[in-house]
Structure 1
Amino acid sequence: MTTRHARIWVGIDAGKGHHWAVAVDTDGETVFSTKVINDEAQILTLIDTARERSAEVQWAVDISGRASALLLALLIAHGQRVVYVPGRTVNRMTGAYSGEGKTDAKDARVIADQARMRRDFAPIETPPELVSTLQLLTGYRRDLIA
């Protein structure tokens, strides 16, 4: 049985083909660390996993562009709060964390931890009409796949 936390922060090192997600608790301890293929089903599984671990989840990403479009659309469509942690912040802070050189898991850990400690990152918000359009498109895609 997994421990349920009051609040977790999930940092995502976004990429084109896959993302790496690391969740930390209020003490900065790692709750989970996983590779997520940039696919609707895998991203939805990640959202469910985070929700199972905590009632309050704060998401943070390092890219708010094309590579993370599906990820962000699904997070926002499922009512999740997401903040943008600039890549410059991640690059500068990575040296303060122990471990091997640059890895996706390490970057995701830095993103999660920075979101936990700082409150000045900009939230990523999507206009309601865009969310509705994305929900319609993902529903249509789900029907096509079925």
Structure 2
Amino acid sequence: MTDETGIDVYLGLDVGKGDHHATAVSRAGKKVFDKPLPNSEPKLRELFDKLRAKHGTVLMVVDQPASIGALPLAVARDAGCQVAYLPGLTMRRIAELYPGEAKTDARDAFIIADAARAMPHTLRTIDPADETVAELAMIAGFDDDLAGESTRIANRLRGLLTQIHPSLERVLGPRIQHPAVLRLLDQFGSPAQIRKAGRRRLVTL
């Protein structure tokens, strides 16, 4: 995002689960707001409306566009503010240019706002389609994690079966994730118990 035409105030939001820290700076770099902000729609909307009424066009910038940053973005857009985000790696590099090393919410919020004012080329736009893609990526990533964990558990079971009874592993191993096979192992537990159960009980189960 490189076009800052028409922006009157730059609002940096260091987002948090319960509270954010909001710092707004004017085009001249003067702080016009610098306070903690509860993570609630009414409080967010109140701030956005106040800044727009007093200063004009507001650009709100966050360092996390997904998860805990989703509500401020949605409310800001609905309130008529422009929105963007400053990637985390870029922010860390920019932070090195500012005095002081202590990492605080207030300092981070100011850096986000001032970077938006002085270095608009570092910002990234946020389109509704981008948010949808991010949400889908998160869901798909969760599914991938579950699939990976399922595969690891199946491989461990096959490894144990190979140690105990290689012949049984050759029969059950390829079907180890089938509910019937898992139930059989859970019910009888060992090759000896499976043999003792007999064909009829196994088929019934």
Interval of TM-score (by shorter of Structure 1 and Structure 2): 0.7 to 0.9
Q: Output the CA distance in 1 between the equivalents of 2:89 and 2:30.
A: 23
Partner of 1:14: 15
Higher strand share: 1
Partner of 1:94: 95
Aligned pairs for 1:1-146 within 5 A: 7-99=8-100, 101-120=102-121, 121-126=123-128
Partner of 1:142: none
Whichever residue aligns with residue 40 of structure 1, its letter is: E
Q: Output the CA distance in 2 between the equivalents of 1:86 and 1:92.
A: 10
5+ residue gaps, structure 1, are 1-5, 131-146
- Structure 1: which 4+ aligned runs deviate by more than 3 Å? none
Contact 1:20/1:34 (8 A) holds in 2 = yes
Contact 1:18/1:35 (8 A) holds in 2 = yes
Contact 2:14/2:105 (8 A) holds in 1 = yes
Greater C-alpha Rg: 2
Whichever residue aligns with residue 102 of structure 1, its letter is: K
Contact 1:59/1:80 (8 A) holds in 2 = yes
Displacement of 1:100 after TM fit?
A: 5.8
Whichever residue aligns with residue 53 of structure 1, its letter is: K
Q: Output the CA distance in 2 between the equivalents of 1:13 and 1:25.
A: 18
What percentage of aligned pairs have identical amino acids?
37
5+ residue gaps, structure 2, are 1-6, 133-205
Deviations 1:8-61 (A, max 9, x none): 100111111111110111121211101111111111111122113311211111
Q: Output the CA distance in 1 between the equivalents of 2:58 and 2:81.
A: 7
Whichever residue aligns with residue 9 of structure 1, its letter is: Y
Q: TM-score, normalised by structure 2?
A: 0.56
Q: Output the CA distance in 2 between the equivalents of 1:48 and 1:27.
A: 21
Q: Which has the higher relative contact order, 1 or 2, with Cα contacts under 8 A spaced 6 or more apart?
A: 1
Whichever residue aligns with residue 127 of structure 2, its letter is: E
Q: Output the CA distance in 1 between the equivalents of 2:56 and 2:80.
A: 13
Whichever residue aligns with residue 76 of structure 1, its letter is: R
Matched residue count? 123
Task: Indicate the RMSD between aligned Cα atoms, in angstroms.
Answer: 1.8
